[in-house]
Every structure is written in structure tokens, then in C-alpha cells.
Amino acid sequence: MNKSELIDAMAADAGISKGAAKLALESFLSNVTSTLKDGGRVSLVGFGSWSVSARAARDGRNPQTGKAIKIAAKNVVKFKGGAELDNSVNSK
């Protein structure tokens, strides 16, 4: 499912216009992004949680040449699915 398909599904499920669904989705994404950027954590009970983790700088190898390279430190976003999401995905 891509973004436009999600907007269509949200609009149909909530009985709202596609424009309103698009605004709601963009607001959700903006708020999650800004919270993570500020070092916070977003948790939706039963669905899952997003957090930011620091990844240290490290040495790596270019797979084409085998030459050693330096990989810079960066922050990475992590998502951990909640119990209800996990159960839904694994139920038959």
C-alpha cells in the first residue's frame, strides 16, 4: 500500500473526504517526525512504537572494490510492533 492508497482507505473507513484524510495523515507524519527529531519516542499502545537510536561511526568495506571506507555516525529510526499488531499479523 502506498501513500495515496492509504489516504483512499482512511477516507473510506472514516467517511471523510480524501482531502481531510490527506491532511490527517500529513499531520500524523509531521508530528511523529518532529518528535523523533527532538529525540522523543512515539508509542501507540497495541500498534507499536518508534524511537531514535544513535549508530556509532564504524569501518566498512566497499563491496565492489573491497577497499576499506569510513561509515559516518548517524541516528536511525527504529520501530517495534506492539502485541496486538503482532497477533493480527500472525493469526490465520
pLDDT tens digit sequence for 32-54: 999 999 999 999 999 999 999 99
Spans in the chain with pLDDT lower than 70: none
**Which pLDDT score is estimated for 83?**
93
Identify whether residues 69 and 83 lie together within a single domain: yes
Please check whether residues 22 and 48 belong to one and the same domain.
Answer: no
pTM of this prediction? 0.80
Tally of structural domains, the chain: 2
* Site of grid cell 576499506: 68
Do residues 46 and 12 both lie within one domain?
no
Same-domain pairing of 50 and 76: yes
Angle 40-43-44 (CA atoms, 0-180°, nearest 5)? 155
Q: What was the pLDDT predicted at 29?
A: 97
**Host domain of residue 33:** 1-38
Residue count of the chain: 92
Same domain, 14 and 45: no
Rounded distance between C-alpha atoms, residue 56 and residue 64, angstroms: 23
